[in-house]
Structure 1
Amino acid sequence: MGTLFIGGALSLTLAALAYPGMLGLQTVSSSGDRIIAQTSAGPLTESDRDFVVKVRAAGLWEYPVGQMALEKGTTKAVVTAGEHLIDGHAGLDAAVRKIAPELGIAIPNQPSPQQQGFVATLQSDTGKQFDSDMANILRVTHGQIFNTIAKIRATTKNSLVRQLADQANDTVLDHMTVMEKTGLVNFDQVLFQETTPPKLPADDMTPPPPAPGQSQVVLTPPATSSPEPTTG
């Protein structure tokens, strides 16, 4: 597939994490600082709400990518990165599912259409192509969301959102680090993708709302140890 495929996949994933809408709803304030609810943990802004849903949506596609890495990774470093994705997003997901009802935030059970498409693309990857694509794509997305976390942590007046930002900061930094430790990250390409996000329709970048009565998806770490890496 080569560089052209990786570049396209990086653009796809970067856009998926940059979505501005919440469950199909347009935001009213361009700065995101409009208060939409008063909660026991403090005022909740549009940006706060966006962040909570964004963390949930990230786990809904990165967690299965971590599972793929356990099965398809050809090096120990890639398998280890997969383990970190699973554990990190299971922890973040538990935190999101705990605070969302307290803040009155509806969270999705599926990632966005673009994120779903990206997972399907990685599912079709094999061997060292999977290793390289996973490392570079995940390094781009985590590099971008890292800046978002910092802004939320610095500006939110909601204590529960601050706690989630603290946890997300640690998790994302860890995931950036393990991707880099694979030795497969093309930093020139990654930094270019981080700073030039494509513009895609909001509907493509917004996770669908949960269906009425639908059971909530729960991301949990595996009870058993991961398999040894395959060869490829």
Structure 2
Amino acid sequence: MTGAFIIGGAMSLAVAAFVYPSTPGASAAPASHDNIIAATPWGPLTEADRDFVVKVRAAGLWEYPVGQLGLQKGTTEAVVTASRHLIDGHAALDATCRKIAPLLNIMLPNVASPQQQGFVSALTTDTREQFNFDFANILRMTHGSIFNTVAKIRSTTKNTLVRALADQANDTVLDHITVMEKTGLVNFDQTLLRQTTPPDLPSSDLTPPPPTLGQPMTVLTPPQNATSTPVDIDAIT
């Protein structure tokens, strides 16, 4: 159904999972609170700070494979370009998350939530023509939703490492919003409506499973021609 931004089933649940995740190591309370959970050499760490680091990691765990999928199924140059940006940007963000998480004693998920995995599966079953439209609109919506969260963390965190991640995430999310819009496929009326409508889903449907003890950490490998770079932790520490 090309041109109609209709999302159902696993795809709709997966979108909600990105926008309003309940994550391992994160409180079930909203991530806007400022309860300090740890004193670190880089400043106090709040629950919102911790939730943010986990959200960035979880985002990459489904958007990176969607970018890879876009390289295979995208039928326009703009969609392929946007896919490359997803892979490049999330590989660099993931590297930063994996660097700062152990320093801040934050447990990161190792796989996306079941709904996020379902999202990837739904795009996998799209026809190539429908894929272009769903890809552009869903990714524009999810990035638009997280953009405000990035700004709030950047303006409120007292933790230097989290602030550096927020700076990087701000640049990456804005870039991804821009390349989605450049596809010319975004239905702004429907996308912005869905972006501002909270999903009605139980937290159990939105939670990435905690990593299995002894399981190697999933690494999002940067492309050979990567242009995005992780945060230089040595320059901060």
TM-score, length of structure 2 as denominator length: 0.89
Match of 1:215 in 2: 216
CA distance in 2, matches of 1:42, 1:224: 35
Is 2:84 the partner of 1:83?
Answer: yes
| TM-fit CA distance, 1:199 | 1.5
Alignment deviations for residues 30-72 of structure 1 (CA, whole Å, 9 cap, x no partner): 7421111111111111100000000000000000000001111
Secondary structure at 2:124's aligned position in 1?
A: helix
Alignment deviations for residues 111-150 of structure 1 (CA, whole Å, 9 cap, x no partner): 1111111111011112110000000000000000000000
Match of 1:228 in 2: none
With over 3 angstroms needed to count, the CA separation of the structure-2 counterparts of 1:78 and 1:191, relative to structure 1, is same
RMSD: 2.0
Residues 123-202 of structure 1: pairs in structure 2 closer than 5 A: 123-202=124-203
Match of 1:23 in 2: 24
CA distance in 1, matches of 2:192, 2:29: 30
Matched positions, count: 225
Match of 1:230 in 2: none
CA distance in 2, matches of 1:74, 1:22: 34
Match of 2:231 in 1: none
CA distance in 2, matches of 1:24, 1:159: 20
Residues 97-112 of structure 1: pairs in structure 2 closer than 5 A: 97-112=98-113
With over 3 angstroms needed to count, the CA separation of the structure-2 counterparts of 1:16 and 1:29, relative to structure 1, is closer
- Structure 1 stretches of 5 or more lacking a match? 226-232
Match of 1:204 in 2: 205
Contact 2:110 2:217 in 1 (8 A): yes
CA distance in 1, matches of 2:27, 2:202: 12
CA distance in 2, matches of 1:11, 1:167: 27
With over 3 angstroms needed to count, the CA separation of the structure-2 counterparts of 1:178 and 1:45, relative to structure 1, is same
CA distance in 2, matches of 1:45, 1:102: 14
Tell me which amino acid in the other structure corresponds to 1:196. Answer: T
| TM-fit CA distance, 1:75 | 0.4
CA distance in 2, matches of 1:30, 1:180: 28
| TM-fit CA distance, 1:13 | 3.7
| TM-fit CA distance, 1:22 | 2.7
TM-score, length of structure 1 as denominator length: 0.91
With over 3 angstroms needed to count, the CA separation of the structure-2 counterparts of 1:127 and 1:213, relative to structure 1, is same
CA distance in 2, matches of 1:120, 1:94: 25
CA distance in 1, matches of 2:10, 2:201: 14
- Structure 2 stretches of 5 or more lacking a match? 227-237
Alignment deviations for residues 61-111 of structure 1 (CA, whole Å, 9 cap, x no partner): 000000001111000000000000000000000000000000000001111
Contact 2:49 2:153 in 1 (8 A): yes
Match of 1:32 in 2: 33
With over 3 angstroms needed to count, the CA separation of the structure-2 counterparts of 1:88 and 1:224, relative to structure 1, is closer
Question: Identity of counterpart residues, as a percentage?
Answer: 68
CA distance in 1, matches of 2:10, 2:140: 12
Contact 1:132 1:185 in 2 (8 A): yes
| TM-fit CA distance, 1:197 | 2.0
Match of 1:46 in 2: 47
